[in-house]
Amino acid sequence: MNRYLDISNEVKNALSNNVPVVALESTIISHGMPYPQNLDTAIRVEQAIRDSGAVPATIAIIGGRLKAGLTLKEIEYLAKEGTNIPKASRRDLSYLVANKKDGATTVTTTMMIAHMAGISIFATGGIGGVHRGAETTMDISADLEELAQTPVMVVCAGAKSILDLGLTLEYLETKGVPVLGYKTDLLPAFYTRESSFKVDYNVQTPEELASIFKASKELSLKGGMLVVNPIPEKYSMDREYIDGVIDAAVNKANALGIKGKETTPFLLAEIKEVTGGDSLKSNIELVLNNARLAARTAVALSRLK
């Protein structure tokens, strides 16, 4: 076991006894939502996983320790500190660990730590991808590289259309990452149930998702796989409306010269303000929806073992 890794007793016992476990990221707590909605959502997501028959393992870096499974007190700390907790991607891990600092794990680092702990299924909101204009800026999320090399299944609601969705799918194809649509042929665009881009396969059940992942592991294929799960129809936003809001936010960011890791937080704050909080409500509901699917898939995977 990695000497910097702490696995909670609950998660450790579950893994030892083939009880299904689902990993959760902590960036969504510290950077994705305001307090106290972030705390309430984190608690609800963990409960949704328990209600679906699995054990939640929220992941973070606290005091330089890689944590797989947080206490309520640790989740409250991340929620209250918010953006004072730095985002931790792959490039940040060694610095944060060596200096005994805290970090909110992104999709990338959550995948890494989940794999270290022996957790195969991870639920999140949306993944990063290829940013618009990446042909000149080279702004491509580390999430895509991690999906290409770490054998974890990531369940998400697609990618926000602040990204170039077509190039994101092309990048994943080049890296050999399968994109599985859960009861959909089209890539969801986070706030909306579909985009104009097709996924690789339409999968109908959690059992089928589990069997595909098991086959990938038995074939010793490098990398993970991406499951895209559309936001529930009740909470889906009008595609034309939200695309217009996103386009305006992107134009504003460009005009202000906002680049790099500051781009996404700026855009999300703009979208939330313009939509009067509707985007936050959609965000919460899609995360809960993904957690339930991930838990059902983890249950199915445990039965195959």
Supply the residues annotated as catalytic. Answer: 25, 160
Strands 153-156, 121-123: pairing is: parallel
Contact between 232 and 193 (Cβ < 8 Å): no
Q: Is the peptide bond before 36 cis (omega within 30 degrees of 0)?
A: yes
Within 8 A by CB and 6+ apart from 84, the residues are 30
Tell me, letter by letter, the H, E, C secondary structure of 111-170: HHHHHHHCCCEEECCCCCCEECCHHHHCCECHHHHHHHHCCCEEEECECCCCECHHHHHH
